[in-house]
């Protein structure tokens, strides 16, 4: 919503007075601000913040009047009223001096800036003003509060009187009201029967006028708070009536929010109680509370002191709160905390030393909420102003904080977008990532009614949307600097909007507008500056395809207009479609091909918009569709926060009789001072058939009476897209409710198009809490996008001697970071709580392709487990069994449970597995599903919950399975796990992992800290755990404590399993697997093969073994040329039958018989066979003109008599 940016600035004062400021107040237009010191009144210009004029009281008059205390501006900014300590009110007049300016911008030669533009002087030059004291009024009592009311000034004094003073004719219009004569009651229905204050010394400490409630919020000196309203137009004692807030007895200050009709009362305990007025009874109704919680601020939450100041922002969306002991915090309108300076880098230095919090004695907001001027109370009491060596000016005790805010605060039509757009005074912050990557949007710009998310042939269903890749992007913002030419003459920026593709943005300043393309990196401004300056946007702006739709006031014709500009054409009125509007437009929104306007006469007007291709530059036409009067339901047009068209329907309109109605505008959503009101089309009568092809000419249905959907609503999100696979998410209504979190108005659909139950509602409102402030909703991706303030300390750059002089030391550098949060698990949980498991399954299955869906299930299980297992009181209807049963419907059930358990305390495991099932059964299910990694995680559970014998049994099963599947990393972990179990066995499972005996826990602790991290490489694991050929234990305390007997027994147990697996591989002639097995696990292969040469290493079928060997290593089989077969040897010993027999690939016995016939000696099965091969090699060398194939053919018969184990070694030697 609102976010701090950068460092604050300290204003420089050119005056030589040593008086420090004590009060600051902006004028109603927020172009100037007045600064009070004990005997001086100064008027400053806001942009730039420069001093214009100052009035210094003479010493004689100063002693008579006393020090200055408060200042109040006249609504037209022509006078200032100043109250003094001795009960005087000084009226200063600010006469207008036309065509006189103190500061003018200087541009270099050749600069494109034009000084002859309209309103140039007013916008870019600081005017010259003068202060003249016109009147002095003595009220003969100490003044406690000043409040401006149009042409009147209301003054509260310490003698218990209210004085109504006219700005003109002050003596004749003076009236005094004794508070003791004003009746007070709990509501207005008690009429005049209310009780009086009853104390002579009761007076008003602070008060503020609320125009939309037509009354005053007051705080009395005894801590009571109330609301005083006139019963008629006359403000007299006989016509006033007061209403108490019964629960507040320690009030200190008050501030009112006219847009939301809220009264915020600061209390002595550091909290802020926010009240509204019940329109039916007139009683003060509690809304919410702003307070720091011990969970967030354990050291300071109850040490802030009383609330000192409360100030609402100009757009009434946030409120700033300060305390007597220092510090400030920023809250949204309904209680979501945005900023607090009592913790983090604001409260502590980089070396951990605690800072003195900023004590604010006065503060005021600047134009559009971009600036906040505060008076530093610390500087006025501790620091003396020092002269700056460069500016020859004095350090003034006024700080200027800079803010950026969401576009939703002033342009709520952005709520149907999925981009986050923040606006500052001179730049925009976008989260849409690289616009060049967003060429394939969710929906095309000219066919919004077609189904979206059409999958490509290679789409995996996880990242098939443009939103998840480009909307999330990276953590950095895309910053767009607003064009300086437009900004200089039209500051401040009031509205901004971004199109659905995230490729174009438009901004509105004081006059005209400009738009920017993220693809071309260029701004487009009005070519005719006169057209820009004659146009003032009043109701906001929105994008419709390639067109910009805005409601403006034509200054020349004095006419409200609705204009449409084409993005690709020149920015000129000649290319705009202009439609005149009857009344002032306050709000504008676009839904598909319709435009909705809310006007100052409390009426809603619907327009149809249509694209017309005409030549090179297409145009758009607008036609009125329908007008709806809301004057009966809206007491004041300023109270309407947002208005939008949606396709959302209630249970009367959600029937499946007319499914084509899903594309139509079914209802109007109106946010009236936080109350969300829905006006749905009345389909109770006869339906109108679409006989005419032109939808603009057919008669539209009327709207039903408004229905209140929710309270305390800050923002509303809906979408115009259609997706049959995710109807729950796209047809829902998403609400932001401040401190109460979010709400979703979710549709409920019958399964498989069955007839719904008559008792089942068609929609349900589900509340849920999130940890961020929502700024956008990704509907199909089940994500909430937001932003959060972060800080960076730079105090280490300065020495301790100069630390007090630099704001970089006193305050951290504030930055804004993008953030997001999953909300799907909250909705699923709320559905399960309400026994809507079928709807939860439908919703979950529609989102099962999301990449973070497993995390959603884990979050839901973890949150329910933490709440129920740690509850101090018994839960009559626990939700955990239902959640466990729900998760079993998905294939990720086993992983979800074990991940949740490993992230949860051991003390909660019994409660968890009592609901999800026995961990031994879950372990066996993992083995049956061949999910060994998950099964390994379950071993940790079993090691803590079962006796070591059970853990060893299951670990052995997993170890054997991992050996069979060749998962060597897991095998290494299992070796360590088995050794850890054997290092200290106990017959009973330990109570908790932290209270185990050293002998039984140390090995497991080593294993658990190292974890079953299956992603580590074999090389790292081999070096870390020293898995050598001897299979030694890992070095550590547990290994040292183990006795030699248990160590040998455990090593023998593991070696037997390794031998058994190696013997099976050798018997199955899987030599490659045997080699990998030996290399990965450090198996001593040579010694073991020597032992097995007469058993498993003996070859029974040599031909099969040879073929298997070639197949495993992917070696080609030997091929003997025909010439080599027919050619006789030199000594004539061998015949051609040898080659024929080789080609026939007969059995080993054939080769043995053949060797006997040819007279070849039988070589014994020993290592001396190498000598025989050497002699045979020398004999082969004597053969002339024979290649390597003949050598292979000659060697093959010799190997028939050799042990299979020795053959294996020769193969690896080769």
Look at residue 1168 in the predicted model and tell me its pLDDT: 34
Lowest mean pLDDT across 41-55, 406-420, 1177-1191: 1177-1191
pLDDT at 1183: 36
With contact defined as beta carbons under 8 Å apart, do 502 and 471 qualify? yes
Output the pLDDT for position 190. Answer: 64
Lowest mean pLDDT of 419-433, 548-562, 966-980, 1132-1146, name the range: 1132-1146
Residue 1042 exposure: Cα atoms within 13 Å on the Cβ side:
27
- What is the maximal distance between C-alpha atoms in the chain? 146
- Region 535-553 average pLDDT: 94
Q: Determine if the peptide bond prior to 1164 is cis (ω within 30°).
A: no
Lowest mean pLDDT among 103-112, 356-365, 616-625: 103-112
Cα(971)–Cα(976) distance, integer angstroms: 9
**Closest residue by Cα to residue 355 from 2, 808, 4:** 808
Residue 92 confidence (pLDDT) above 80: yes
In three state form, how does the secondary structure of 1024-1072 look? HHCCCCCCCCCCCHHHHHCCHHHHHHHHHHHHHHHHHHHHHHHHCCCHH
Q: Give the CA count within 13 Å in the CB-facing half-sphere of 1200.
A: 25
Q: What is the token pair recorded at 842?
A: 């439908």
What pLDDT was estimated at residue 456? 36
**Mean pLDDT across the stretch 758-766?**
74
Cα–Cα distance measured from residue 165 to residue 582, given in angstroms and rounded to the nearest whole number? 38
912 vs 1174, more confident: 912
Q: Which DSSP state fits 468?
A: I
Indicate if the pLDDT at residue 1039 is higher than 80: no
Question: Please, which residues bridge with residue 952 across strands?
Answer: none
Question: What local confidence, expressed as pLDDT, does residue 239 receive?
Answer: 79
d(CA 640, CA 660): 31
| The pair of three-digit structure tokens given for residue 194, joined into one six-digit string | 């209310």
Which of 390-404, 838-852, 1084-1098, 1140-1154 is the least confident region? 1140-1154
C-beta separation of 338 from 318 below 8 A: yes
Instruction: Judge whether 524 and 458 are in contact, CB under 8 Å.
Output: no
Whether pLDDT at 993 is above 80: no
Q: 165-199, pLDDT tens digit by residue?
A: 888 766 555 678 888 888 888 887 765 555 666 66
Between 151 and 1037, the more confident residue is 151
- Is the pLDDT at 909 greater than 50? The verdict is yes
> Looking at residue 949, what is its pLDDT?
86
What lies within 8 Å, CB to CB, of 2 at 6+ separation is 313, 317, 318, 330, 338, 339, 369, 403, 404, 405, 406, 409
Task: Specify the pLDDT at position 1090.
Answer: 87
- Examine the pLDDT at 815 and tell me if it is beyond 90: yes
**What pTM does this model have?**
0.81
**Contact in structure between 672 and 639 (CB atoms under 8 Å):** yes
pLDDT at 233 over 60: yes
pLDDT of 1053 reads: 80
pLDDT band at 688 (very low <50, low <70, confident <90, very high): low
1114 burial level (CB within 10 Å; 0-12, 13-18, 19+): exposed
| Nearest to 364, CA basis, from 305, 310, 423, 306 | 310
| CA torsion through residues 707, 710, 712, 713, sign | negative
Would you state the pLDDT for residue 80? 94
Cβ burial, residue 2 (10 Å; 0-12/13-18/19+): buried
pLDDT score of 14 = 76
Q: What percent of the chain has pLDDT over 90?
A: 46
Residue range 688-711: mean pLDDT, rounded: 69
- Listed as own residue / partner, the contacts of 793-796 with beta carbons closer than 8 Å and 24 or more positions apart are 793/345, 793/349, 793/350, 795/349, 795/350, 796/350
pLDDT band at 1011 (very low <50, low <70, confident <90, very high): very low
As a whole number of angstroms, the distance between CA 463 and CA 390 comes to: 56
Least confident of 98-112, 583-597, 666-680, 1159-1173: 1159-1173
- Predicted local confidence at residue 471, as pLDDT: 58
What span, in angstroms and rounded, lies between the C-alpha atoms of 796 and 352?
12
User: Region 876-892: what's the mean pLDDT?
Assistant: 93
Kindly state the average pLDDT of the residues 903-921.
Answer: 92
How high is the pLDDT of residue 1124?
A: 56
Using 50, 70 and 90 to split pLDDT, how confident is the model at 1051? confident
| Dist. CA 612–CA 394, nearest whole Å | 62
- Whether the per-residue pLDDT at 225 is higher than 50: the answer is yes
Tokens 């960076």, residue located: 792
Strand ranges of the sheet holding 504-508, from the earlier edge strand across to the other edge: 495-498, 504-508, 514-517, 522-524
Instruction: Extract the tokens encoding 59.
Output: 């010493």
Assign 473 a pLDDT band (cuts: 50, 70, 90): low
* pLDDT surpasses 60 at 448: no
pLDDT at 108: 67
Q: Which pLDDT band holds residue 470 (cuts at 50, 70, 90)?
A: low
Tokens of 526: 């009005």
Q: Report how far residue 1183's alpha carbon sits from residue 557's, in angstroms, rounded to the nearest whole number.
A: 114
Q: Is the pLDDT of residue 35 over 70?
A: yes
Q: What is the pLDDT of residue 795?
A: 72
**3-class SS at 717?**
strand
In this predicted structure, the answer to whether residue 652 has a pLDDT above a threshold of 70 is: no
Query: What residues pair up with 623 in beta bridges, in sequence order?
Result: 608
Which segment of 65-69, 413-417, 489-493, 546-550 scores lowest on mean pLDDT?
413-417
State how far the Cα of 836 lies from the Cα of 1159, in Å rounded to an integer.
Answer: 88
The per-residue pLDDT of the chain, averaged, comes to 79
- 342-346, 713-717, 962-966, 1027-1031: which is most confident: 713-717
| pLDDT at site 149 | 83
Residues 6+ apart with CB under 8 A from 894: 922, 925, 926, 929, 931, 934
Residue 705 has pLDDT above 80, yes or no: yes
| Average pLDDT score over residue span 444-472 | 40
> Taking 90 as the threshold, does the pLDDT of residue 512 lie above it?
yes
């Amino acid at each position: 919503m609102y976010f701090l940016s950068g460092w604050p600035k300290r204003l420089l004062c050119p005056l030589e007075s040593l008086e420090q400021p004590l009060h600051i107040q902006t004028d109603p237009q927020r172009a100037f601000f007045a600064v009070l010191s004990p005997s001086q009144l100064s008027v400053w210009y806001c942009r730039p913040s420069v001093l214009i004029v100052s009035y210094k009281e003479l010493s004689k008059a100063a002693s008579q009047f006393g020090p200055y205390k408060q200042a109040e501006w006249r609504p037209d900014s022509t006078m200032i009223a100043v109250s003094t300590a001795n009960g005087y009110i000084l009226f200063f007049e600010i006469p207008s001096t036309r065509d006189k300016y103190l500061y003018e911008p200087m541009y270099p030669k050749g600069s494109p800036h034009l000084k002859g533009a309209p309103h140039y002087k007013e916008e870019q030059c600081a005017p010259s003003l003068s202060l003249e004291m016109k009147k002095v009024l003595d009220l003969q009592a100490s003044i406690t509060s000043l409040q401006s009311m149009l042409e009147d000034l209301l003054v509260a004094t310490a003698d218990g009187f209210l004085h109504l003073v006219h700005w003109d004719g002050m003596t004749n219009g003076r009236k005094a009201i004794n508070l003791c004569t004003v009746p007070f009651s709990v509501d207005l229905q008690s009429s005049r029967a209310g009780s009086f204050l009853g104390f002579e010394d009761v007076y008003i400490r602070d008060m503020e006028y609320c125009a939309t409630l037509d009354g005053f919020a007051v705080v009395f000196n005894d801590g009571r708070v109330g609301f005083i309203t006139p019963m008629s137009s006359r403000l007299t004692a006989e016509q006033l009536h007061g209403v108490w807030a019964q629960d507040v007895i320690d009030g200190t200050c008050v501030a009112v929010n006219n847009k939301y009709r809220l009264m915020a009362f600061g209390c002595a305990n550091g909290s802020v109680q926010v009240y509204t007025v019940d329109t039916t009874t007139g009683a003060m109704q509690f809304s919410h509370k702003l307070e720091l919680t011990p969970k967030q601020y354990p050291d300071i939450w109850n040490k802030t002191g009383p609330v000192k100041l409360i100030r609402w922002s100009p757009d009434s969306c946030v409120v700033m709160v300060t305390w007597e002991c220092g510090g400030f915090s920023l809250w949204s309108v309904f209680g979501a905390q945005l900023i607090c300076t009592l913790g983090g880098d604001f409260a502590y230095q980089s070396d951990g030393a605690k800072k003195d919090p900023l004590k604010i004695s006065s503060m005021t907001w600047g134009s559009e909420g971009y600036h906040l001027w505060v008076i530093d109370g610390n500087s006025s009491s501790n620091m003396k102003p020092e002269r700056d060596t460069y500016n020859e000016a004095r350090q003034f005790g006024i700080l200027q904080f800079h803010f950026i805010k969401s576009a939703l605060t002033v342009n709520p039509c952005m709520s149907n977008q999925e981009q986050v757009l923040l606006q500052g005074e001179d730049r925009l912050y976008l989260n849409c990532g690289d616009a060049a990557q967003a060429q394939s949007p969710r929906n095309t710009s000219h066919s919004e009614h077609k189904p979206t998310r059409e999958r490509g042939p290679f789409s995996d269903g996880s990242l098939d949307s443009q939103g998840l890749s480009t909307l999330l992007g990276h953590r950095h913002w895309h910053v767009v600097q607003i064009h300086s030419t437009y900004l200089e003459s039209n500051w401040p920026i009031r509205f901004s909007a971004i199109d659905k593709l995230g490729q174009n943005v438009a901004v509105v300043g004081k006059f005209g507008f400009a738009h920017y393309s993220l693809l071309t990196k260029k701004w487009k401004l009005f070519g005719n500056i006169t057209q820009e300056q004659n146009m003032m946007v009043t109701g906001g702006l929105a994008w419709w395809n390639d067109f910009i739709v805005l409601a403006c006031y034509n200054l020349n014709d004095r006419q409200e207009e609705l204009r449409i500009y084409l993005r690709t054409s020149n920015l000129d009125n000649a290319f705009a479609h202009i439609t005149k509007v009857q009344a002032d437009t306050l709000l504008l929104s676009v839904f598909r091909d319709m435009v909705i306007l809310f006007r100052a006469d409390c009426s809603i007007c619907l327009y149809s918009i249509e694209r017309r291709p005409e030549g090179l530059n297409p145009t758009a036409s607008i036609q009125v569709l329908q007008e709806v009067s809301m004057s009966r339901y809206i007491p004041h047009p300023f109270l309407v926060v947002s208005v939008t068209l949606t396709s959302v329907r209630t249970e009367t309109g959600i029937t499946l009789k007319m499914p084509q109605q899903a594309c139509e505008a079914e209802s109007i959503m109106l946010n009236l001072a936080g109350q969300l009101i829905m006006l749905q089309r009345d389909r109770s009568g006869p339906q109108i058939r679409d006989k005419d092809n032109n939808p603009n000419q057919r008669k539209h249905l009327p709207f039903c009476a408004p229905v209140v959907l929710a309270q305390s609503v800050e923002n509303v999100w809906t979408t115009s897209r259609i997706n049959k696979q995710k109807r729950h998410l796209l047809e829902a209504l998403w609400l932001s409710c401040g401190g109460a979190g979010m709400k979703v108005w979710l549709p409920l659909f019958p399964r498989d198009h069955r007839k719904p139950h008559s008792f089942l509602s068609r929609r349900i409102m589900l509340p849920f809490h999130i940890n961020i402030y929502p700024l956008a909703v990704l509907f199909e991706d089940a994500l909430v996008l937001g932003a959060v303030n972060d800080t960076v300390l730079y105090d280490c750059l300065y020495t301790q001697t100069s630390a007090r002089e630099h704001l970089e030391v006193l305050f951290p550098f504030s930055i804004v970071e993008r953030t997001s949060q999953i909300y799907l698990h909250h909705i699923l949980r709320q559905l399960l709580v309400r026994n809507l498991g079928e709807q939860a399954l439908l919703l979950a299955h529609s989102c099962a392709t999301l990449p973070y869906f497993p995390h959603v299930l884990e979050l839901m299980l973890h949150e329910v487990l933490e709440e129920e297992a740690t509850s101090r009181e018994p839960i009559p209807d626990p939700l955990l069994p239902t959640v466990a049963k729900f998760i079993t419907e998905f294939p990720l059930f086993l992983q979800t449970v074990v991940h949740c358990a490993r992230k949860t305390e051991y003390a909660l495991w019994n409660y968890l597995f009592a609901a999800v099932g026995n961990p031994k059964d879950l372990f066996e299910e993992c083995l049956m599903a061949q999910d060994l990694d998950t099964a390994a995680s379950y071993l940790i559970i079993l090691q803590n919950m079962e006796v070591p014998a059970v853990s060893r049994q299951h670990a052995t099963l997993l170890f054997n399975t991992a050996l069979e599947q060749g998962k060597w990393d897991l095998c290494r972990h299992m070796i360590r796990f088995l050794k850890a179990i054997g290092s200290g066995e106990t017959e009973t499972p330990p109570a908790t992992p932290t209270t185990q005996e050293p002998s039984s826990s140390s090995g497991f602790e080593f294993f658990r800290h190292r974890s079953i991290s299956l992603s580590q490489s074999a090389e790292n694991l081999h070096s870390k755990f020293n898995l050598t050929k001897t299979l030694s234990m890992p070095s550590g305390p547990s290994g040292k404590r183990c006795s030699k007997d248990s160590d040998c027994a455990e090593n023998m147990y593991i070696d037997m399993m390794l031998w058994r697996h190696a013997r099976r591989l050798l018997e199955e002639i899987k030599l490659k697997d045997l080699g990998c097995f030996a290399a990965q696990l450090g198996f001593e292969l040579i010694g073991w093969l020597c032992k097995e040469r007469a058993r498993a290493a003996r070859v029974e079928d040599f031909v099969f073994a040879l073929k298997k060997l070639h197949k495993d290593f992917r070696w080609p089989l030997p091929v003997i040329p025909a010439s080599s077969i027919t050619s006789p040897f030199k000594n004539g010993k061998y015949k051609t039958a040898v080659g024929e027999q080789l080609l026939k690939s007969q059995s080993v016995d054939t080769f043995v018989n053949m060797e006997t016939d040819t007279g070849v000696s039988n070589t014994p099965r020993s290592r001396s066979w190498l000598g025989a091969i050497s002699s045979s090699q020398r004999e082969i060398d004597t053969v002339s003109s024979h290649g390597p194939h003949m050598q292979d053919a000659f060697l093959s018969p010799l190997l028939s008599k050799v042990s299979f184990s020795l053959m294996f070694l020769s193969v690896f030697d080769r």
